[in-house]
Structure formats: structure tokens, C-alpha cells
């Protein structure tokens, strides 16, 4: 078959695999099928352990696995320096990281603390800007950056609270970054993924309710999987999407279009 994706041998950085349920892991699986070289970043030692185990179990090679704390500029700089030294050129980045303090995801949005608001923004939105800046010197052949968002960025989804505001900033950052990086043929897009049971969704009371509502209302009458998010993400990393930048692409069984 003709290689329509042109991802074979491309170097793609994946940030945010916490375990096998992670959207980032769904993307990694799709990218391995497409023949890309993968570089992973992790923050927690626990995530490093999970990732190493997943790679081993699946017999997947990793070009490099490097620690990166997205709350820290030096850590991001250092991680991308190491990646650049190892692979030379970076062709793609999958930014699949977010964090909000558990107490800011409970109760009323009005009670969001100043520090909790700042931390959610720093981790979930500013991190994309910092990553794009540090990666840019190595994206010399053009490239594609994809981040993960959620409907709560534009609609008030119960319980998403401070994360909704962070994702709104993230989606806006996608647009501004795409205007800066377009001249270097670097595209920036977000995938707005439907609700998927990841570690981030753990312990969320309203989660089952959301899954049921989507099943009833979405055009496709079902929820989506991390494999579906993975496949759309690699489409956005690939040659197929070369004319698309600054977009928010929904992988949500069509749920967002229903009024
Ligand atoms: C409307 C909903 C349900 C409410 C869910 C909110 C989810 C927010 C995402 C953030 C990233 C979750 C988060 O930061 C949890 C932390 O406070 C505690 N968890 C951790 O520390 C774990 C161990 C580590 C690995 O997590 C992180 N982030 O490092 C939205 C859902 C229907 C969809 C959803 C779950 C969206 C999303 O953004 O993930």
C-alpha cells in the first residue's frame, strides 16, 4: 500500500503516558503501527515504570525516554536538548498533559483558589507554549504539534471547572502558536476528545453520567476510545493533514454538535 501518512521514520515526541489507559498511549500505539520513531517524556517515576512495562510487554522500541516536568522551564529545555542531540530532527509532538488540584475539581467553580487556578493554567496550557518554543529549533523540516482538549473548554460541563478554563486557554494558545509557527511549516492543532476513562477521570462522580448521556445523545450513539483518538491524532501528525493548522478537531462521536 502506498504510504499516505509519511510517518515512517519520523521522530515524534509523546508527552503524558501515565498508564495503558492514557490518550498518549493510544497515540503511541497508532504511531508504532505507522512506523514512527518515538521519544517519550514523563514526570512521575511511577509513570516511567508503567511506560517501561508497556513498551516491554508490547515489544515496542523507544528512541529515548526522558524526564520532563512541564511546570519547570529548565526541565523542558533540558529534555528537548537531550531529544535534539539524540534524534537531530523532531517532526511531531503530542502534548497530552494536564493537571488541576483535586480540591479545585470538587465543589463550586467560584471557590477556585488563586494558586489552584494558576497551577492548572501553568501545567495544562502554558506548558504547550514552553514546549513549542524549546522544540522549535529542532523542528527544522517543518512538523506538527497536537495537544489534547475537552468540550469543557467551550461549554460549562459540570465538574470540569478550573480545567475548562485551562483548556479554553489551551485552545486559544493553539491558534496563536499556529500563526507564529506557520512560516516554519509547523502546524499546531488540538484534538477535543470525548470522555474516556483515563487516570485523570478516576474518582469523578459524574463520569458515568457523562458516558451515558453521550451514548444517548451523540450522533454515533456511543462513546469513543483512545484508539480512535490515537488514529485521528496521527492523521493530524501526518502528511494527510498538511493543509490544516490552528484547528480544534473533535473526536467525540459527534456529541459536541448536538444542541
Ligand atoms: C467533566 C469531566 C469530569 C471531571 C474531570 C476532570 C478531569 C480533569 C483533568 C485533570 C488533568 C485531572 C487531574 O489533574 C487529577 C489530579 O488532581 C489527581 N490525579 C493525579 O494526580 C494522577 C495520579 C496523575 C497521573 O494525573 C495527572 N494529571 O498528572 C471531564 C471528563 C468527562 C473528561 C476528562 C477526564 C477530561 C480530561 O481533561 O482529562
pLDDT digits (tens, 9 = 90+) for 28-50: 999 999 999 999 999 999 999 99
150 in contact with ligand 1, CB cutoff 6 A: yes
Check 160, 176, 250, 255 and give the catalytic one.
160
Structural domain contains residue 32: yes
> In the predicted model, what is the mean pLDDT of the chain?
97
CA of 118 to the centre of ligand 1 (A): 16
CATH value at residue 182: 3.40.50.720
* Structural domains counted in the chain: 1
Task: Examine the residue annotation and report whether 160 is marked as an active-site residue of this protein.
Answer: yes
Residue 105: inside a domain: yes
Ligand 1 touching residue 143 (CB < 6 A): no
Residue 38 lies in a domain: yes
Pocket lining: 210 vs ligand 1, CB cutoff 6 Å: yes
Give the ligand 1 atom nearest the CA of 152.
1
- Establish if 256 belongs to a structural domain: no
C-alpha cell at 168: 479554553
Does residue 258 fall inside a structural domain?
Answer: no
Residue pair 164/157 in contact by the 8 Å Cβ criterion: yes
Atom in ligand 1 nearest the alpha carbon of residue 97:
28
Question: Which among 125, 111, 113 has a CA at the least distance from the CA of 165?
Answer: 125
The CB of 152 under 6 Å from ligand 1? The reply is yes
76-86 in b/e burial notation, b at 16+ Cβ within 10 A? Answer: bebbbebbbee
Task: Give the pLDDT mean for 48-60.
Answer: 98
Asked if residue 138 belongs to a domain, the reply is: yes
pLDDT for res 115: 97
16 is a domain residue: yes
Q: Is residue 3 part of a domain?
A: no
Tens of pLDDT, residues 159-218: 999 999 999 999 999 999 999 999 999 999 999 999 999 998 887 878 999 999 999 999
Residues contacting 213, CB < 8 A, separation 6+: none
Residue-number span of the structural domain to which 64 is assigned: 11-251
Amino acid at each position: 500500500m502506498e504510504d499516505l501518512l509519511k510517518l515512517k521514520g519520523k521522530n515524534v515526541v509523546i508527552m503524558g503516558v501515565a498508564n495503558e489507559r492514557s490518550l498518549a498511549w493510544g497515540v503511541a500505539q497508532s504511531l508504532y503501527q505507522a512506523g514512527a520513531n518515538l521519544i517519550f517524556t514523563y514526570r512521575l517515576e511511577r509513570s516511567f515504570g508503567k511506560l517501561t512495562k508497556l513498551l516491554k510487554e508490547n515489544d515496542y522500541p523507544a528512541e529515548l525516554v526522558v524526564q520532563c516536568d512541564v511546570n519547570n522551564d529548565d526541565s523542558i529545555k533540558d529534555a528537548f536538548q537531550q531529544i535534539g542531540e539524540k534524534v537531530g530532527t523532531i517532526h511531531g509532538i503530542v502534548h497530552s498533559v494536564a493537571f488541576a488540584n483535586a480540591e479545585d475539581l470538587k465543589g463550586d467553580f467560584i471557590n477556585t483558589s488563586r494558586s489552584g487556578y494558576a497551577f492548572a493554567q501553568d501545567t495544562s496550557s502554558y506548558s504547550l507554549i514552553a514546549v513549542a518554543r524549546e522544540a522549535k529549533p529542532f523542528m527544522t523540516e517543518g512538523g506538527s504539534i497536537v495537544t489534547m482538549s475537552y468540550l469543557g473548554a467551550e461549554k460549562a460541563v459540570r465538574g470540569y471547572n478550573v480545567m475548562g478554563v485551562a483548556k479554553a486557554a489551551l485552545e486559544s494558545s493553539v491558534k496563536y502558536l499556529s500563526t507564529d509557527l506557520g512560516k516554519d511549516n509547523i502546524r499546531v492543532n488540538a484534538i477535543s476528545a470525548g470522555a474516556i476513562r483515563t487516570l485523570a477521570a478516576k474518582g469523578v462522580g459524574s463520569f458515568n453520567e457523562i458516558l451515558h448521556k453521550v451514548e444517548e445523545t451523540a450522533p454515533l450513539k456511543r462513546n469513543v476510545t483512545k484508539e480512535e483518538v490515537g488514529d485521528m491524532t496521527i492523521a493530524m501528525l501526518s502528511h494527510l493533514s498538511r493543509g490544516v493548522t490552528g484547528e480544534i478537531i473533535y473526536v467525540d462521536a459527534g456529541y459536541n454538535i448536538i444542541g
